[in-house]
């Protein structure tokens, strides 16, 4: 079973800054079946990125995903106040999909 490790656990940033979140897999994800989700308090998660780099419908272009193999990154180019939330990566497309433990993006 592939384990996803996200870093950092908490990221303190200011609006307007660029945020970089990391997701590292214990084994190579050859198919690039890697998604990113955003979750705000009291809400269900929302799909941001799938296939490592494709934006989901309606997601602003300040969100971008990159990476391959074992190292994946979610970048938010210019943080808006509504972007402060928890972000999870997920490996899918196998019999044992898994989530990372999450990165909390907090206002500095």
By the rule CB under 8 A, 35 interacts with another protein? yes
88 contacts another protein (rule: CB under 8 A): yes
Per CB under 8 A, does 39 bind another protein?
yes
| 55 near another protein (CB under 8 A) | no
CA-to-CA dists, residue 4 to 16, 59, 93, angstroms: 28, 23, 14
Q: 68: number of CA atoms within 13 Å, CB side?
A: 2
Q: Does 59 bind another protein (CB under 8 A)?
A: no
C-alpha to C-alpha distance for 74 and 95, rounded to whole angstroms: 24
The site for another protein, by CB under 8 A, has a size of: 28
How buried is residue 48: exposed, middle or buried, by Cβ count under 10 Å (0-12/13-18/19+)? buried
Told to check if 9 binds another protein by CB under 8 A, we report no
DSSP letter at 52 equals T
Per CB under 8 A, the list member of 3, 18, 101, 107 interacting with another protein is: 101
> Which residues make up the interface to another protein (CB under 8 A)?
1, 31, 33, 35, 37, 39, 44-47, 50-51, 56-57, 86, 88, 90, 92-102
């Amino acid at each position: 079973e592939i384990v996803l490790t996200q870093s950092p656990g908490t990221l303190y940033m200011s609006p307007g800054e660029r945020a970089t979140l990391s997701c590292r897999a214990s084994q190579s994800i050859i198919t690039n079946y890697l998604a990113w989700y955003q979750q705000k308090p009291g809400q269900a998660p929302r799909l941001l990125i799938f296939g490592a780099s494709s934006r989901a419908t309606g997601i602003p272009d300040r969100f971008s995903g990159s990476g391959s193999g074992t190292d994946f990154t979610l970048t938010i180019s210019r943080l808006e106040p509504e972007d402060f939330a928890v972000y999870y990566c997920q490996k899918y497309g196998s019999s044992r999909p898994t989530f990372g433990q999450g990165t909390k993006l907090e206002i500095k």
